[in-house]
Amino acid sequence: MEDPILAQSRATPLGGVVRDTVIRIGNKEWRRLTIKTHVILEGEDIAEVTALYLHPHLQEGDIVFLSEKAVAGSQGRSIPIADIRPRPLARFLASKVRKVSWGFGLGKPETMELAIREAGVPRILLAAAIHVLGRPFGRSGDFYRIAGRRVAAIDGPTAWTQPPYNTRVTLAPLHPDRVAETVARRLRGKGFSPIHVAVVDVNDLGSEILGASREAPRELIREALRDNPLGQGPYQTPLGILREA
């Protein structure tokens, strides 16, 4: 049976709302609208793309969220896996990564190679050592805490990812706070104010705010996206709106 969200996305024209869901946070309810776009690639102006697709839907006081993969892709931070040449250290470390059911993370030499490039050899080795020392005590997450957010945000290719990202490793976007502020200014310039913008890394394991415009309610956004309304499949919904219901 076809994924109903994927079927809905296929039936939705570009710029249309694919999902309109509600989540309760405290004593308030918040709507999450996810918007279908074309596949955003290197060299595109992410602020202009966002304004193009969201302009028909925006209301005063809306909060906009952008997928980190779309931002990184527009920055050329998505690298074909065939172009990555892992060093021996990357192959060794990748072989020690615990396999999980939802993907391979740094368990491929190519993704580990990019982690080394992002953080540097000393920091990756320190992160690996702290991880190994903490395991007997039931600790988890030490590797990414030491390696840093940019390593944790590395996204490997999967069969269900929208092409061409299904054959690429995507790094964390550069300057996410600056990107969010630029997008917010572009939207405000089109007559919507106040507009808050966040660049988010959300998946079925949780949500993180990589960057946000000034005074954006980061904790509210993170909590509102905890169930990943953008979805994991090839839905072409890298943009969304958070609005008080």
- CATH number, residue 59: 3.30.1330.100
What confidence category does residue 159 fall into, taking pLDDT thresholds of 50, 70 and 90? confident
As a whole number of angstroms, the distance between CA 171 and CA 154 comes to: 5
Higher pLDDT, 193 or 152: 152
Among 162, 188, 205, the domain boundary falls at 162
Residue 168 domain-assigned (yes or no): no
Domain with 236, as residue range(s), is: 4-77+173-244
The predicted model scores a pTM of 0.91
| 59 and 95 co-located in one domain | no
What pLDDT does 100 receive?
61
pLDDT above 60 for 101: no
**What is the C-alpha to C-alpha distance for residues 107 and 183, in angstroms, rounded to an integer?**
34
**Within-domain flag for 89:** yes
With pLDDT > 70 as the criterion, what percentage of the chain qualifies?
A: 96
Structure tokens at 226: 């905890």
Decide the pairing of beta strands 28-35 and 63-67.
unpaired
Q: Residue 50 in contact with residue 66, Cβ under 8 Å?
A: yes
Residue 2: what pLDDT? 66
Residue 46, domain member (yes or no): yes
- Tens digit of each residue's pLDDT (9 = 90 or more) over 32-64: 999 999 999 999 999 999 999 999 999 988 999
Give the phi and the psi of residue 127 in degrees, each rounded to 5: -60, -40
pLDDT, residue 104, reads 63
Domains in the chain: how many in total? 2
19 is a domain residue = yes
Least confident of 45-59, 68-82, 201-215: 201-215
